[in-house]
A and B are shown apart, each in its own frame.
Chain A
Amino acid sequence: MATTDIHAHQDVHHHDDHGEHEHHETNFWRTYIFSEDHKVIAKQFLITGIFWALLGGTLSVIFRLQLGFPEMDLGWLKPVLGGWITPEGKLDPEFYLALVTMHGTIMVFFVLTAGLSGTFSNFLIPLQIGARDMASGFMNMLSYWFFFLSSVIMFTSLFLATGPASGGWTIYPPLSALPQAMSGSGLGMTLWLVAMALFIVSSLLGGINYITTVINMRTRGMSFTRMPLTIWAFFFTAIIGVLSFPVLFAAALLLIFDRSFGTSFYLSDIYIGGEALAHDGGSPILFQHLFWFLGHPEVYIVLLPALGLSSEIIATNARKPIFGYKAMIGSMLFIAILSFIVWAHHMFVTGMNPFLGSIFMLLTLIIAVPSAVKIFNYVTTLWKGNIRFTPAMLFSIGLVSFFLTGGITGIFLGNSAIDIQLHDTYFVVAHFHLVMGSASFFGMMAGVYHWFPKMFGRMMDNKLGYIHFWLTFVGVYLVFFPMHYIGIAGFPRRYYSWTNFETFSGFTDLNMLVSVAAIVTLSAQFIFLFNFFYSIFRGRLAPANPWQSNTLEWTTPRNPGHGNWVGEIPAVYRWPYDYSKPGAREDYIPQTIPYSETPESNLPHENELIKLESTSNGDGAIVVEGDKH
């Protein structure tokens, strides 16, 4: 254990922390605002993410009111929405599109990318691999503040007289390129592009840091094959992000040129607002290719961290090693690679060459195999477990359930022939909200419940957690499951109302159910908010290792200071999933316990590792650690 070594290696420790001492004595601003400490930055991402999640959720409830209760008088929203409520008390159709667009943008990027990866990659990577902080604390700080700046700009765009960006979160030109096409494509779109450019900067700064830290700063003994699956997931996520976000940046930059400098990358043959535009030779399809080259990997940027978090939580609470540790890593690697070569399945009916469609269909359906492996492995991990239903465990089980339900509909949509009918209907909405939106959101919630004791040194209330889970779990299913039926019936998405069409005149009952469920689900999040903020200040003090978990973060003090461990960073001797090992005294063996201390439970090949433990336990290794720092 870390603390036992303090005296023996005090010199080393001082040498180690030389650089950090200045921070300990700095003021409020450097400790809580412009902090370079990964834990503080993680909390900053988390709180900002919670703010955005509430806003994104509220926007969705407003447009769900329109869809579920088309006759409703929304005049009472006038104090908030002002002119966006028509004199008849209806939502303005263009503002409806703005709501849909901003809901998508906020949820995908600001909540499930920054809020999820930003929080947990920052918080857990140094703690779980045994590092004092990120490779570059300064870059990490910049990462948050670029995100903050991006957030401020995106938030500001909500208050423009012409409205925020309204062309869908995919911002397909020419709609997004031409202010005469819709008012949201004016200043709102400009701010959207600027905000996203800053967001990409933030994401790259973060991602490079995560990759560098994982590769270079693992503690002694923490080989790649001993890393928790969370770290593997964050590692792959960061790589995907670093490779794909620059492409979105390029796409956005070209769009900015088309909008402001008269170029024609995406525009051609356009007659709008009574005049033929001079743009010639561009292709709107080019934008879609560039956008989805990020857009599809983005799905996995959102999902993989959630899968990583839940793998760790499920193993801990089932008191079993995660089934198929290497298969889990392999499937994540395979998913990460495939995620780059399936993007055009979003474009089967855009007029793209049909042959390209068949190639992308093939690649897309292959991705179902590693996904299926992950689900089977989760289920097998539960088999013969001794399951503790902590709130984190409940949310992780919810994640697996959503991943299954939503993933299976991907087999329909990935099939280009079937996709002809389903494309851009509510079937797609149901699919991605379950598999990517809800699954990732549940992963994030699971992470908050599980690592709250480490973040704030206190426990959240379990009972409130249960209520929060059940309302949200059932609520999410009631919101998104009925959408499958609505989608099979052909209802197109992003429709303000369906009453113009006889074909889409049904399902007022289901739409009402969905809207009511959405309101209930959003309300249930206030239980979480109360629990979260109340527990920060008044929660029960957390024990050192509240979940009897194996990973390194639980060897730190209750409220780890800057540098995480007092004294030497503990060394790692085993993989993180030695739960319920036959012969062991307890049902868990932390990674810091050497095999030499557990002869009763060692497997034959592990006994041979004991020799290596003693040789690598010298001072030399510690000096190396110090140099690294």
Chain B
Amino acid sequence: MMSLIIFLGVVLILAIVFMIFRVSKLVSIAKGKSDDDRKGNSNKINASLFLVFMIGSLVWFFWYSFAHFDDYTLPIASEHGAITDNLFWITMGVTVVAFVIISIVMFIFIYQYQYREGQKAAYFPDSHVLELAWTIIPAIVLAVLIFTGLRAWNDITSPASKDAEMIEVIGQQFAWTVRYPGVKDKEFGVVNYKLIDNFGNEFGLDLTDKNSFDDFKSLELHLPVNKEILLKIRAKDVLHSVFLPHFRLKMDAVPGMPTQFKFKATKTTEQMRDELGDPNFNYEMACTEICGRGHFSMKMSVIVDDQETYERWKASQEAWLKQNPDYMKNVPVALKEAAMIKAGMQKDPGSTVAEVIE
């Protein structure tokens, strides 16, 4: 009933508006007015509105940009993030100056050169000097921006050093998992997507490779501070994209084509909490490549620890093989003992001997 009343109300209002339109139209025809609005006030009003719009929107733009600066800028927590943010703000400076000047000039021209009876426009079809000037000046400015950008890009994408901390991030619908190479061999075990199953081997770990025995899984991304990190990124099903907003890091996860991104975190979670005065602050990882129904919920917590805490945390994690002992059956017989030792399922007899001797 209510919706019917609303509907009828809307129809009534539309009918009234239409009647007003019709009547005003007929009156203007009866008065013999032409539709040539140059002679009326419309031209002046439109010209003035442009000026009002220009002033109003520029004031709003500057006011909001300064007043809400902290709302829309994220704190930086990585080394290259400081560089790219710097580039961002340099570009912002250059473009805002250009934008403001062009906008003001354009809207002032629009206002100043509105139609006036008896006024004649200038016949000014071209000027090589002007055209050259505004081809060359933007070209120079852009060249500067390009070269600073290129330098930053080349640094960011250069190969990681050999002792970088390797961490693997795996995207799947709709969750992230992280694999660490383990504290014993510091090497990732080989994976093969055909070995993935629903019973536990979500990495597709190939247990014939001895490097896989001490790999461990985590549902949180732990990172060491001030150490170069090489994120190895892959996807199991469709495209995903690793996005660590505070670290200014983004890289797609592509099934069939492992990708990577190297970076250095500069602030631990604790430091960032202190800096922001927010004891509940947490780094987060999001997905930025549309991946289906749950795209918006692919969150992973990120914790940046100081070096010592990070190493302690790593040492305290159970190897994947220890958590999934059923998979011992896939380990070749010759490697079974080594696997048990590496996965921490049985003490290293060598070390026991050593202790005894001591």
Contact = CB atoms under 8 A, between A and B. Distances in A.
Interface of A: 76, 93-94, 97, 167-168, 172, 174-175, 178, 181-182, 267-272, 274, 276, 281-285, 318-327, 349-351, 354, 357-358, 361-362, 365-366, 368-369, 372-373, 375-380, 382-390, 394, 397, 400-401, 404-405, 408-409, 411-412, 415-418, 420-421, 423-425, 459, 461-464, 466, 470, 473-474, 477, 481, 485-486, 488-490, 492-498, 500-504, 506-507, 530, 540, 577, 579-582, 587
Contact of A284 (B106, B257, B282, B287): B257
Given A174-B238, A369-B142, A492-B243, A274 B198 contact: yes
A383 B134 CA distance: 16
A272 B84 contact: no
Contacts of B47: 387, 389
A271 B116 contact: no
Contacts of A283: 256-257
Contact of B72 (A97, A178, A349, A489): A489
B173 to A, nearest CB: 7
B297 A500 contact: yes
A350 B254 contact: yes
Interface stretch (B149-157, B205-213, B311-319): B149-157
Given A365-B146, A400-B106, A420-B250, 11 more contacts: A271-B237, A324-B125, A354-B154, A373-B134, A385-B109, A386-B113, A417-B87, A424-B241, A462-B42, A497-B296, A503-B245
B46 interface: yes
Interface of B: 3, 18, 21, 25, 35, 37-38, 42-43, 45-47, 49-50, 53, 57, 61, 64-65, 68, 71-74, 81, 83-85, 87-88, 91-92, 94-95, 98-99, 102-103, 105-106, 109-110, 113-116, 119-127, 130-131, 134-135, 138-139, 142, 145-146, 149-150, 152-154, 156-157, 172-173, 193-194, 196, 198, 204, 233, 236-239, 241, 243, 245-246, 248-252, 254-257, 259, 280-282, 284, 286-297, 299
Contacts of A477: 57
Q: Which 6 pairs between the two chains have the least Cβ-Cβ distance?
A: A268-B256, A354-B157, A351-B259, A490-B245, A384-B122, A389-B46
Contacts of B84: 417-418, 420-421
B123 A321 contact: yes
Given A405-B99, A462-B37, A582-B123, A492 B286 contact: yes
Contact of B124 (A181, A358, A383, A496): A383
B296 A93 contact: yes
B131 A324 contact: yes
Contacts of B256: 267-270, 281-284
Given A383-B109, A387-B114, A496-B295, A357 B245 contact: no
A503 B284 contact: yes
B149 A587 contact: no
14 contacts: A172-B239, A283-B257, A284-B255, A323-B126, A357-B157, A361-B150, A362-B146, A382-B109, A383-B124, A384-B122, A463-B37, A466-B45, A498-B296, A502-B280
B149 A416 contact: yes
Contacts of A384: 113, 121-122, 124
Given A93-B293, A365-B146, A496-B296, A351 B254 contact: yes
A351 B237 contact: no
Contacts of B124: 320-321, 323, 380, 383-384
Contacts of A420: 84, 156, 248-250
Contacts, number: 337
Nearest to A176: B238
Contacts of A408: 95, 98-99
Given A270-B236, A412-B88, A497-B296, A321 B250 contact: no
A379 B130 CA distance: 12
B131 A366 contact: no
A376 to B, nearest CB: 4
B43 A388 contact: yes
A228 B337 CA distance: 83
Given A385-B121, A503-B74, A271 B236 contact: yes
B296 to A, nearest CB: 4
Contacts of B25: 461
Nearest to A497: B296
Contact of B138 (A281, A369, A424): A369
A451 B99 CA distance: 31
A361 B148 CA distance: 12
Q: Which of A178, A321, A507 has the most CB of B within 10 A?
A: A321
Contact of B290 (A167, A349, A354, A386): A167
B72 A540 contact: no
Contacts of A416: 149, 153
Given A349-B252, A368-B138, A368-B142, A385 B113 contact: yes
B250 A386 contact: no
A497 B298 CA distance: 12
